[in-house]
Amino acid sequence: MSTTTSYMGLTLKNPIIVGASTYTNSAAKIKKLEQHGAAAVVLKSLYEEQILADSGKLVEQDDMYFWYPEAIDVVNGFSKEDGVNEYINLIKDAKSAVDIPVIASINCRTPKEWPAFAQKIESAGADGLELNIYISPADIDAGRSVEETYLAIVKEVRANTKLPVAVKIGYYFSDVARFVTQLSSTGIEGLVLFNRYFRPDIDIEALRLANDNIFSAPQEITLSLRWVALLADKVECDLVGATGVHDYAGVVKELLAGARAVQVVSALYKSGPQAIEKMVSGLETWMQKHNYDSIDAFRGMVAKGPENTAAFERVQFMRRTTGQYQEAPR
Ligand SMILES: Cc1cc2nc3c(=O)[nH]c(=O)nc-3n(C[C@H](O)[C@H](O)[C@H](O)COP(=O)(O)O)c2cc1C
């Protein structure tokens, strides 16, 4: 029996990738993740702003910073302390510490200047590059649509590196299916569905914002499952299921929906890196029980067929169906 899978041209010994986070910001921590069974890691992200500040290009940016001048100081300080050279060293150190693939990550929002940096990431030895594109849906840009900016970023990065490129996106698009398929045909190798954005809450006694909603809950997996299931057959790149994968059952669900791999972060903060071992052994036990000798033997199985597709497409709860959805008690 084999739990091997492939993602963006990389062979993974199992489908569990540790997502970008503070768990992946040092070679020592990454080594530990490998020892606990991680098949690959995405490094903590470097910010586009750090790259621009480091190259003195920040001030040339358009009025993005004009209304928020403090950002320049913050980003400049940030860059000096924790800048691009450190990031390059992190890639090199991680690569010499572990045998699993190391994917670099950039948080970005514009296609300007910074994509040339992708060459340095490639030269440092990274196995791939993940772009965490984070354009707030609250941003109102008269120039171009949010979707156009995504496509422009990918085009620039693609022109600057031969590394396999993945894009991690959120779900705030007016037409998710159309945009994801369009993005998948730009020459990228992977798409991560979905990122989990910051979710501010309100403390009604202290009358202020509450920021303690940092980690996902297992129930959040359903959003990713739906879109992986609906799109896995339609996209031209590999899909990774992310957000809300907390245990082996979550891994199996994403694979049954059609994902090539999963990314996990919150599960590690909640249960430690041992969570990875449990996911791998749970997956193996489940495969044995169901007589599958490879992931390809069952990948995408529950996404197929008109009935399942219809269920994933359904948005409204139906009052009286075949009994699958019960009417709420009055
Ligand atoms: C503490 C913390 C730090 C994170 N840092 C990054 C980051 O640097 N870059 C990034 O793309 N995503 C980052 N993320 C998002 C995660 O990679 C992931 O997409 C998200 O947590 C959803 O997955 P999960 O449900 O397994 O936590 C971070 C998440 C957490 C909780």
For residues 86 and 54, the answer to whether their CB atoms sit within 8 Å is: no
The residue whose CA has the least distance to atom 4 of ligand 1 is: 21
Distance CA 242, CA 263 (A): 5
| Averaged pLDDT, 132-149 | 78
For residues 286 and 256, the answer to whether their CB atoms sit within 8 Å is: no
Go through 153-185 and write b for each residue having 16 or more CB atoms within 10 A of its CB, e for each that does not: bbebbbebbebbbbbbbbbebeebeebbbebbe
**pLDDT band for position 140 (cuts 50, 70, 90):** low
Superfamily of domain 5-313: Aldolase class I (3.20.20.70)
Q: How far is the CA of 21 from the centre of ligand 1 (A)?
A: 5
Domain ranges of the chain: 5-313
pLDDT at 64: 45
Q: How far is the CA of 53 from the centre of ligand 1 (A)?
A: 23
Residue 183: alpha-carbon gap to chain centroid: 15
pLDDT at 79: 53
Residue 220 pLDDT > 70: yes
Q: Which residues have C-beta atoms less than 6 Å from ligand 1?
A: 19-22, 44-45, 105, 107, 132, 168, 195-196, 214-216, 242-245, 264-267
Distance CA 44, CA 59 (A): 25
* φ/ψ of residue 271, rounded to 5: -120, 0
Q: How far is the CA of 252 from the centre of ligand 1 (A)?
A: 21
**pLDDT band for position 72 (cuts 50, 70, 90):** low
pLDDT tens for 84-96 read 899 999 999 999 9
